[in-house]
Amino acid sequence: MTTAQQLLKKIEDNTEVVGIIGLGYVGLPLAVSFAEAGVKTLGFDKNPAKVEKINHGDNYIQDIRDAVLREVVDKVAFSATTDFSRMAECDALIIAVPTPLDRFKKPDMRYIESACTDIGRYMKPGTFICLESTTYPTTTEDFMLPIIGENIKTNPHFNDISASDSKATPKNIAPRFFLAYSPERVDPGNPSFHTRNTPKVLGAMTPEGLEIGTKLYAKAIDTIHPVSSPRVAEMVKILENTYRLINISLINELALLAGKMDINIWEVIEAAKTKPFGFQAFYPGPGIGGHCIPLDPFYLEHIAKKYNFDLSMIHTAGHINMRMPHYMYIKIATALNRHKKAVNGSTVLFLGVAYKPNINDERESPALEIMEIVAHKGGKVQYHDPHIPTVQTHGQGALTSIPLTAETLGQADVVVLTTNHSAFEVEFIQKHAKMIVDMRNMIKEAGDKVYKL
């Protein structure tokens, strides 16, 4: 029986062990979904606090119900560890680690590199390996495979390969394990779509790997869509997010123009939506947040340069988005100026620092950048967010959410609506605030003291 047949038999018998590397917004919900399906699941994370919380059944991800996490932990279907040598216990290893940008806006691949190094050192023969982190096309084949192949030479489970074996190249080693890519499609706070019912794209380097991955993922996810290769699956993720980036950047730029022309962009969008074909509504805001959309164009630009290809449209869209927080600062400064006040010395209260409504995730949130610009210009920055009690900023250190009361609203020189949380009572805010800059169209009928995007 081949290694592929052995793993397929384990999957059929439900005796496989799945390892999830990285227990954040992507990894933990996926691990819970596997464990709920009765698959023994082992989570790996280098953060001891996360591991301890999981093993005590303490949840820290909003999209997972507390009772569900406790149940799968209590049943010993799911546990977590910081001991990466335990990868040898796993039949499948799924990587869900961060993929940020460095200070030069280049892909920071150190977390994927670290995961691949550990996998090469510790995995057993016949392991299925899949990356879910957002990245650029060719990562699986050209970046992951060589790292795993090099580190497998020191793995005691592969004792037929020596460090000096000239034949132990990544291509020769690849048949000993199964490598794939399946982009995460997590949408935090989405009430309708979650890990199980969001269709999953999967591309593998070999037909055997694709069959293994399809049958494995089918236990945790309802619909699997196989594609011909990892690079196709990688491009799918980039397409999905750059599509949103370009359209949001377009509507943001049109919103700025509409403001100069005294045109209500929100009214324009509502009218355009009446067309029953050929139009999808996107809405303006202070910028694009979250882990994927603001970062993906730079990942695609990185690989496009290697092919001597200029992504002019995506480059422009990315930079429109990057400039939005500065334009929003100008909105705030203009509103204060009209009331004969300067930003310097004024108290500016931001309502919402999460990058989208009703979640506790402030990653890449444009609100944080606007807050930092205001503080740099001498403004006294405060914020309230019912989902995020504290935030870490570059210029001001840690900030704590203040209570949203008539007094705190009244004491602020300007209140800025940066996130449209459903918990915000618009009438209460409008009643007690001296001045409001509404960046989310929360106030439909603006009066003299309300300035809209």
Is the predicted pLDDT of residue 12 greater than 60, yes or no?
A: yes
- The encoded tokens of residue 432 equal 């007690």
Cα separation, 334 vs 368, in Å, equals 19
Q: How many residues does the chain have?
A: 453
Rg of the Cα atoms in the chain: 24
What is the pTM assigned to this prediction? 0.90
90 is catalytic: no
Give the span between the Cα atoms of 165 and 219, in whole angstroms. Answer: 39
Return all residues near 160 (Cβ < 8 A) that are at least 6 apart.
none
Per-residue model confidence as pLDDT tens digits over 269-321: 999 999 999 999 999 999 988 777 777 778 888 889 889 998 889 888 988 98
User: In this predicted structure, which of 54-58, 290-294, 353-357, 407-411 has the lowest mean pLDDT?
Assistant: 290-294
pLDDT at 26 over 70: yes
pLDDT of residue 190: 87
pLDDT digit string, tens, across residues 239-264: 999 999 999 999 999 999 999 999 99
pLDDT for 152-206, tens place per residue? 989 999 877 665 555 555 566 667 899 999 999 988 888 899 999 999 999 999 9
Q: CA-to-CA distance for 403 and 327, rounded, in angstroms?
A: 28
Lookup: tokens for 105: 């806006």
- The catalytically annotated residue of 90, 116, 130, 292 is 292
Residue 286 to residue 418: CA distance in whole angstroms: 7
User: Which domains occur in the chain, in start order?
Assistant: 3-228 (3.40.50.720), 265-452 (3.40.50.720)
The CA distance from 314 to 327, in Å, is: 20
Q: Residue 152: which of 135, 141, 165 has the closest Cα?
A: 165
For the beta sheet containing 436-438, the strands, ordered from the edge strand earlier in sequence to the opposite edge, are 380-384, 347-351, 414-417, 436-438, 450-452
The pLDDT value given to residue 292: 76
Mean pLDDT of the chain: 92
What pLDDT shows up at residue 162?
60
Q: What is the pLDDT of residue 164?
A: 54
Q: Count other Cβ atoms within 10 Å, centred on residue 218.
A: 15
The β-bridge relationship of strands 200-204 and 224-227 is parallel
Which stretch of DSSP H or E encloses residue 226?
strand 224-227
